[in-house]
């Protein structure tokens, strides 16, 4: 809330300053009929800055639900548009004989948007000064000390504006990124298997109900694959647990590479894995299962002198199923594959 109040105060100050400057610039017209140019000159910056205040406050309050999501690229584009509009209004000032005071809040606003792009900000600020000085000379007007001071103050305002934002916002952004990284690490520790990188059983137990409920509610096809590495105890007993870990990681990587991004795979326990294949018919599910089986059989794992294979059991969602029964049926088909010689897919 403190950040919100400070931002609103700064933006309101910029808006009121720009409005007062535009009223001052148009005061000579108040004693005579107001021309279209002077009316545009007075209203355009006020409307632009008022819109900026509304969008900025909306972004601060609603964040993810804001009207416009400001990424780094969109801020740069918005700054360039603001630069063009500022220069257009300043050109109107020069043509009508007024001092282009709007260059000050214009450069300040641009510096706030481009604080983390110093080269672009510096280029636009210098370009603004050069264009205004050139316009003054083209109109056969002298570069007075007041005019030069205005341009110099605009450059200083651009620099100090960006520096102020950098010193206050950059540490906050760095801290937020650090917190996001820490939260992601905590999430991985809670829901990822540290050895294989797949989801763990805890995550699967929490996710299964959502996957199952969605499939039942929308009558979507859902298949469960139970996988088990054949003769894995032999690997640990004869080759050691370090080699066994390498086998688990290689099999997990193969599983992850064979399923779709919409599917969910987890290490169910020991050398056993579970996969939920969503919105796929029996033919596609069988293709994925056989691709996993063939991919594992083709592995050449260092330190393992025999082929590593897996057995797979598949069960599809049927009317009247509950999630425990669906997983249990896939597990029964897994044992069918084991009893029929291993390195096979059962359940179709």
Q: Among candidates 208, 240, 229, 311, which has minimal Cα distance to 272?
A: 229
Structure-token pair, residue 147: 């005019």
What are the residues whose beta carbons fall under 8 Å from the beta carbon of 69, sequence distance 6 or more?
A: 59
CA atoms within 13 A on the CB side of 147: 20
**How far is 193 from 340, CA to CA, in rounded Å?**
30
Q: Active-site residue among 271, 283, 324, 328? A: 271
Tell me the C-alpha distance between 30 and 56, whole Å.
33
* b/e map 244-266, b = 16+ CB within 10 Å: bebbbebbbebbeebbeeebbbb
Residue 273's H or E segment, with its range, is strand 272-278
Token pair 């780094």: residue: 72
Which residue, 40, 49, 52, is CA-closest to 19?
A: 49
Q: Take residue 177 and report the two structure tokens written for it.
A: 């990124």
Residue showing tokens 């969008």: 55
Do the beta carbons of residue 309 and residue 290 sit within 8 Å?
no
- Picking from 323, 344, 321, the residue whose alpha carbon sits closest to that of residue 334 is 344
CA triplet 88, 113, 146: central angle to 5 degrees? 50
173 in catalytic set:
no
Give Cβ neighbours of residue 155 (< 8 Å, ≥ 6 apart). Answer: 107, 125, 126, 129
Q: What is the DSSP letter of 64?
A: G
Neighbouring CB atoms inside 10 A of 280's CB total: 19
Question: How crowded is the C-beta side of 51, counted as CA atoms within 13 Å?
Answer: 10
User: What positions carry a catalytic annotation?
Assistant: 271
């Amino acid at each position: 809330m403190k950040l919100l109040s400070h931002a609103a105060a700064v933006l309101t100050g910029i808006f009121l300053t720009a409005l007062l400057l535009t009223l001052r610039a148009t005061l000579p017209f108040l004693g005579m009929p107001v021309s279209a140019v002077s009316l545009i000159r007075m209203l355009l910056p006020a409307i632009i800055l008022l819109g900026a205040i509304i969008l900025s406050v909306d972004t601060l309050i609603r964040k993810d639900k804001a009207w416009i999501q400001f990424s780094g690229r969109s801020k740069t584009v918005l700054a360039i548009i603001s630069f063009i509009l500022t220069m257009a209004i300043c050109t109107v000032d020069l043509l009508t004989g007024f001092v282009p005071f709007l260059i000050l809040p214009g450069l300040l606003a641009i510096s706030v948007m481009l604080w983390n792009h110093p080269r672009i900000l510096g280029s636009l600020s210098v370009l603004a000064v050069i264009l205004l000085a050139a316009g003054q000379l083209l109109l056969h007007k002298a570069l007075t000390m007041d005019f030069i001071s205005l341009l110099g103050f605009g450059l200083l305002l651009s620099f100090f504006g960006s520096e102020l934002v950098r010193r206050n916002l950059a540490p906050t952004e760095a801290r937020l990124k650090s917190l996001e990284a820490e939260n992601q690490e905590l999430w991985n520790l809670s829901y990822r298997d540290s050895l294989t990188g797949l989801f763990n059983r805890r995550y699967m137990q929490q996710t299964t109900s959502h996957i199952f409920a969605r499939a039942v509610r929308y009558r979507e096809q859902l298949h469960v694959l139970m996988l088990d590495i054949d003769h894995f105890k032999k690997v640990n007993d004869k080759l050691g647990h370090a080699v066994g870990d390498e086998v688990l990681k290689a099999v997990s990587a193969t599983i992850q590479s064979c399923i779709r991004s919409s599917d969910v795979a987890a290490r169910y326990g020991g050398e056993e894995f579970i996969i939920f294949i969503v919105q796929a018919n029996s033919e596609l599910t069988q293709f994925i299962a056989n691709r996993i089986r063939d991919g594992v059989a083709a592995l050449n794992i260092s330190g393992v002198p025999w082929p590593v294979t897996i057995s797979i059991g598949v069960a599809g969602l049927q009317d009247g199923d509950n999630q425990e029964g669906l997983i249990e049926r896939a597990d029964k088909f897994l044992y069918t594959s084991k009893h029929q010689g291993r390195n096979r897919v059962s359940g179709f």
